[in-house]
Amino acid sequence: MSSVGTPHVSPSGTQPCLTLVSTPRSNPDETELVQFTLKVRAGSNSSAPTYKRKVARFAGGTPAEWIEVLEALDEVFAQNSLTSAEDRVNVVRTILRSDSLTAFESSLQEQRESPEDPGRLIALSVDIVSNALKAVSQDVFPHRALFMQKVWMKRHMKKPGDMGIRKLVAAVSQMNSKLVCFPGATEADLFSSAELLELLEFSLPDSWKSKFDLAGYIQN
């Protein structure tokens, strides 16, 4: 089960961008899907096996939907070994629409302007493309999104009654890995294994915790 979904407001008013249970999205029109042919093994030759990857065009939406786009872009770049900044820009331009495309293009232009020579454009680079995608993230995510997401995970995240433990562990682990997509986030913002264990324990129903205590389970 996916860990992304529509925003959920906790009783305290904390609104996360990612939740444990996803809300099914309506299937986009075929004209709103971009299909890429990707290599099964990155770096293989042109005759190697391939597979199809469809990505929904993004013209603004939820942070969860934007994270799906970022993950798709990473897959396209990696599997087809797109190391050229120009190639990456072309891929992004096929997916983004409306304000999201404007934010991307504006960031590209701003980063390429030379402060010493206003009439000269700095050469396009992979870092510039990555920063332009981060500019889109700034537009998509709400203010203090990472802080609010982590507060919700620590204080308000609860296991749904119909979700098994294995699915819960998978959903929380997946949610944790997606935190790096939030504006300003780095690998250091991910919860450690020990912290994830605490989050999982806190998310369980109180009746379960009582049984664990009676059984003498002690968290290490």
pLDDT single digits (tens) 168-213 = 999 999 999 999 999 999 999 999 999 999 999 999 987 655 544 5
User: Is residue 153 located within the same domain as residue 115?
Assistant: no
Is 77 domain-assigned? yes
Q: Which two tokens stand for residue 145?
A: 């999104």
Q: CA 213 to CA 207: how far, in whole Å?
A: 10
Structural domain includes residue 19: no
Number of domains present in the structure of the chain: 2
Tell me the per-residue pLDDT of 129-169, one tens digit each, with 9 for 90 and over. Answer: 999 999 999 999 999 999 999 999 999 999 998 999 899 99
In a domain, 25, yes or no: no
Q: Report pLDDT for 179.
A: 98
Picking from 140, 175, 196, the residue at the C-terminal end of a domain is 140
Residues 35 and 100 in one domain: yes
Nearest 10 degrees: Cα torsion 37, 41, 44, 47? -50
Q: Same domain for 107 and 156?
A: no
The whole-angstrom separation of Cα 19 and Cα 4 is 5
Structure pTM? 0.85
- DSSP states along 166-202: HHHHHHHHHHHHHGGGSTT--GGGSPPHHHHHHHHHH
H or E element in which residue 78 lies? helix 63-79
Write the pLDDT tens digit of every residue in 57-107.
999 999 999 999 999 999 999 999 999 999 999 999 999 999 999 999 999
173 and 202 together in one domain: yes
Domain boundary among 103, 121, 140: 140
Residues 37 and 99 in one domain: yes
Domain that holds residue 75: 30-140
128 and 209 belong to one structural domain: no
Residue 4 inside a domain? The answer is no
Rounded (to 5) percent helix, strand, coil in the chain:
50, 10, 40
Of residues 135 and 216, more confidence is placed in: 135
Within a domain: 194 = yes
Consecutive H or E run containing 110: helix 98-112
Contact 195, 201 (CB under 8 A): no
- Which one of 94, 111, 140 terminates a domain? 140
**Rounded Cα gap, residues 194 and 107, in angstroms:** 38
